[in-house]
Structure 1
Amino acid sequence: MAFRPSALSPRNAVIAMRLVWFTLLCVLACAFRSNAQTVAELRLRAETIVSSDVLTLGQIAEIHAADEMNRARLASASLGYAPAVGAAREIGRVDVLRAIIAAGFRAEEVRFSGPASSLVRRAAQKLDEQLLRAAVEQAVLTELQAAGATARLVRLDLPPHVDIPTGQIEVRVAANGVRDPFTPFPLTAEVRVDGRTVRRLSLTAQVEAFAPVLVAARDLAIGRRLREEDATVEVRRLTRPVTSYLRETKQLRGMAASRLIVRGETFTIDALHAETVIRPGDQVRIEGASDRVRVAVMGEARAAGRIGDRITVRNAQSGALLQAVVVDEGVVRVRF
């Protein structure tokens, strides 16, 4: 039955109108009180992609507040760590409520809207294969190229794709301990983003290199003392470390063949041995040098020596005994 004030007595009609106004005031008061308690309105996003390591409430929700300071406090409220690249994390309202309380707000001061949770993914970028290859080349080819060799990678096994967090990329490759780069060998690449290591990759590489080396100009018998005319220089493919090869004809001085060396064969250190080029009593040329003066006198060796050895010699003019380094057959050198 509808309420009709005209059906009541004047007194009852006044009372009824007062009750209506009282009820309306109560409703308005409650509404006013509720609005006074609301500090901010928060609307969760259904899905969010982030690029930082740590999640904040402002990254996954739209926050509206009359007071900018309150809005900033809520926006910076921590939600823990972001998921790894390729993974996802679901942030529910319970997680958000904990963050709000940790930020110093009461639950009833924030009004929620939107979905019940937000799915968070990590922003990613693909590691450029050329960047990875360049880092490997820098690590494994630099020494060969510095020695005059022409070198290149003939094999580099890379993962099909590598996703990493967004940011400034740096790749570090350590080639220490690689004994034979001319057969497949393992490498470890460290991928850093903004100065922090995010991935370590296991790689397999192989190198091909060519360099000018000494080659036998004729067959050389075991024990033969070598001369510079016994070798020529040719560019050959390297099959062992470049330091194993002889590169200049002056390196043959004082050396002899440890085994038969056939014409066209490369000279390697393990095929030669140093011979004694000065014996006690041999007449030697003593070369002396300082920063400004160079002199040469004759003398006598008092000990045997190979090139590079330090021996005692006697100056034939003054009779003084000197310590000198053997530099060639019949030649020693002293430093003033």
Structure 2
Amino acid sequence: MRKLKKISMVLLLLAVPGPAAAQEGPLSVPESEMVYVYLKPEARTAASQLTLGDVAEVSGFNEELIGRLKELPLGPAPLPGDSLALARSDIRRIMIAHRIDPVNVALVGENRVEINRSGRVISKDDLTPLIEDYVRRCWSEKNVRTEIMYSRLPEDLAVDSENFVIKVLDPVKSMLSGSVAISLAALQDDRILARLPVSLKIRVWQEVAVLQRDLHQGEILTLDDFSFEEREITGRSGTPVTKAEQAVDKRLERSVKAGQVLGLENLENPPLIERGAEVTLIVQYKSITVGCLGKAFQKGRLGDRIMVRNQYGKNLIGEVRDEHTVVITP
């Protein structure tokens, strides 16, 4: 009898639904309260933040709930040119976090949506070829070897556009070297979308004339006085001699030590007439030409106008024609 009572009690418990069974049963929601969210297989956005309206079609009769769902924030969008995936479970979890009862929402369509963001990411690989080309143009027609070392190069930068070009904004600067800053920009129809400042050091080597011995001011250079070697000319002021004809038969304006790079700024064409030299003065006036002796009060090269004094003590200005002659034209 006792065993029969126990069996009857077990059967009674199995027949009565408990709390758990009651929660799992379907709940009846009026059709007027239901909202349907159709998840697309793919979605595209240009915004930096995602909403449910970007990735799904929301419909139903509950306008207030439809509005809330369309504006439901789903988090940051992928970077321009990148993508991410959202699953139904992710969206359901976000709805609950924003106090939207998922019982009133039917998630239908795809199980996950692939979200793509329009735009491009500018990387270092996009910038370095432009900088190298800019440096080459700064040294165009110069036989040099350059090395670029970057101290500041922007990390990957996302731009919310696909149709743009990247350009160096700085004008070309002849013989640019040393520590410099260069500004690049992403441009769309001449409108700047993003600025890209770059800091770098440009090192430069060139075959230049190097003196073989100590030379003093006023000496005339010959081929034996210098040779050509590759030297670093980074940050050097002045222009180094790179061809023999630039230096041979030129006169030094100042003394230079052996081993130093010879610069064009150190050289001058020797004057045809030295200060204090006796010269022949030719005075030309219309069809009349008169010659007399005179003295140069300035040194002068071919074509220079210098001051002279004639044999009668009068100071005149004339043009150097050769190493002995100055022409006076009133």
Q: TM-score, normalised by structure 2?
A: 0.49
The structure carrying a bigger helix percent of its residues is 1
Q: TM-score, normalised by structure 1?
A: 0.48
